[in-house]
């Protein structure tokens, strides 16, 4: 990671429909797994999504600010577990930033999509909507990361 990566990094919301190479996905996951967490509790889980139908459904997690996910070849759902650590929000945010900076450093672009404390509609939270799609038990869906070329 160098200053140029940080200086160049922007939120990217337009994507080329081309699958992300497996090695690049591995690098992104490695970066997040190496992110620091309070007391090393690592209270997160990462769900890699590349199926277009699922990305399209995830893009509807909230009324605005997530629609561009339907055109992305990859999404990473970052989940945090409050039962594992009281600093799960901080730890998960750091992991998400590691995703974004690692992506930038290997020529990919992405954008944070806020899910925590957002609503899918007047009744259902964005988190409940995504949980229903992905069925992760006892995990809070935190945000979604995407990439571009």
Ligand X SMILES: Cc1cc2nc3c(=O)[nH]c(=O)nc-3n(C[C@H](O)[C@H](O)[C@H](O)COP(=O)(O)O)c2cc1C
Q: How far is the CB of 9 from ligand X (least distance, A)?
A: 7
Per-residue mark of binding to ligand X, 51-70 (x: CB under 6 A): --------------x-----
Q: Least Å distance between CB 125 and ligand X?
A: 14
Among 15, 112, 129, 145, binds ligand X (CB under 6 A): 112
Report yes or no: 57 and 133 within 8 Å, Cβ to Cβ. Answer: yes
Candidate list 28, 76, 111, 141; residue touching ligand X; CB under 6 A: 111
**Binding to ligand X in span 3-22, by CB under 6 A:** 10-11, 13
Q: Which residues contact 84 (CB under 8 A, 6 or more apart)?
A: 41, 42, 43
Q: How many chain residues interact with ligand X (CB under 6 A)?
A: 8
CB-nearer residue toward ligand X: 12 or 26: 12
If one asks whether residue 103 binds ligand X (CB under 6 A), the answer comes out as no
Q: Which two tokens stand for residue 59?
A: 């893009």
By C-alpha distance, which of 105, 108, 142, 102 is closest to 125?
A: 142
Inter-axis angle of helices 22-33 and 88-105, to 10 degrees? 140
Nearest to 143 by CA among 62, 73, 70: 62
Which structure tokens are listed for 4? 């140029």
Applying CB under 6 A, the residues found at the interface with ligand X are: 10-11, 13, 65, 111-114
């Amino acid at each position: 990671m160098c200053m140029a990566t940080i200086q160049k990094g922007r939120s990217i919301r337009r994507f080329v429909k081309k699958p992300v190479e497996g090695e690049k996905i591995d690098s992104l996951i490695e970066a997040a797994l190496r992110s620091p967490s309070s007391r090393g509790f690592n209270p997160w889980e990462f769900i890699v999504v590349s199926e277009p139908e699922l990305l399209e459904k995830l893009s509807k997690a909230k009324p605005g600010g997530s629609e561009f996910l339907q055109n992305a070849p990859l999404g990473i759902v970052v989940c945090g577990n409050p039962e594992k650590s009281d600093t799960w929000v901080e730890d998960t945010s750091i992991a998400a930033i590691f995703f974004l900076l690692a992506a930038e450093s290997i020529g990919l672009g992405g954008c944070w999509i806020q899910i925590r404390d957002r609503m899918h509609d007047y009744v259902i939270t964005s988190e409940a909507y995504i949980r229903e799609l992905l069925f992760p038990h006892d995990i809070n869906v935190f945000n979604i990361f995407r990439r571009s070329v």
